[in-house]
Structure 1
Amino acid sequence: MSTVKPLQIDIVSDVVCPWCYIGKRRIENALALVPDVPVHVNWRPFFLNPWIPREGIDRSTYLETKFGSVEAYKGIAGRVVDAAEQEGLTYRPDSVKRQPNTIDCHRLIHWAEASGKSAEVKQRLMELYFRDGGDLTQSETLVQAAADVGLDADDIRKRLATDEDVELISGNAKEAADKGISGVPTFVFAGKYAVSGAQDAEKLARAIRQVSAEVNAEAAE
């Protein structure tokens, strides 16, 4: 009896990207629509704002630099807030006071892979940031996220104080950029088909089913 080969899905995203927050929920909903298709999901790092220093910057300064003014972003944010709400998510732009560099967040997500908890850690970091206005530049905020999903807080605290995997994460993010990924989230199916943007769950589900069928047809040849 032949077995169905799991479809590899690489999700390139950043924890401070609101459309990545929405896209994560949509890919989860898409997977729920195709429960018969086995998949293996990998969370890949991307730096939405690679120019931000490790210590982060004031949120107002960030919005002025990127969007021209705080008011200009408010005009954009309304649509994102509504889209998040439609997915059962909460985004409170005014609660965010500090814009972080996200390399430590990506290190934490990478470390959580060993326990099969990458998705849970990513979700918790996004909730802390978008919903609660948590300061992701503070290692204790990341330690809290880790502890909330059942990881060893003391272990994570010690590892965050080192440069462990900084080079690895930076290299992975550069690899994504070198491959032409400039907008996130980007969903890469079977290492060769990329879908960019927080697409609807139905569209993602169709892509999952189609690519899985193709991969398994090739494997059977």
Structure 2
Amino acid sequence: MRLILADDAVLLREGLAVLLREAGHEVVAAVGDAPSLIEAVDAHRPDVAVVDVRMPPDHTDDGLRAALRIREDRPGVGVLVLSQYVDKTYAAQLLSSETGGLGYLLKDRVSEVAEFLESLERVRAGGTVIDPEVVRQLLARTTHTDPLRTLTGRESEVLRRLAQGYTNAAIASGMHVSLSTVEKHINAIFDKLDLPATPAYSRRVLAILRYLDG
């Protein structure tokens, strides 16, 4: 696939470029700040942009804001955001911008090369990838008043896998249950989280956001 890398840490950026080229991908641009990322995406139209959250010029959430702009201006471009630590606000902002072709991973995950490359493929294919550690930490923050606590163990597991970007079929395969069982669990999740069916919103995305905000 054609990739753009955006990270102000030169060693990480160049290391990623080498890793991805060795895996057979084409790195069409590697930049160190948010404005350059926007320009590179407009110029090269990559399959996926790999973006650090904190970048120049402000060193705050410039990378995230650039990623959100890419999703708005170039919806065909997948975006995989890398973060140094868990931040549920960033994850929720990213997820709420679109329903697919998105990822949010901790930078430590890059060292797990096969998993990182698989995440890129899933984002390119239109999937949503959320770091398992992000999901674990956010789930640990729930309280006894949270409606998420009303979910059964199986329902919680299905929702966790939804938040990691798996399809219903992949969840069924991974949990060794039928597709209809997964669909029943998902409908139960929607009911318990009070997410009525409406054409204006994706209940799947809203359930993930509720999970991350729990």
Tell me the TM-score normalised to structure 2 length.
Answer: 0.26
Relative contact order, higher structure (CA 8 A, sep 6+): 1
Tell me the TM-score normalised to structure 1 length.
Answer: 0.26
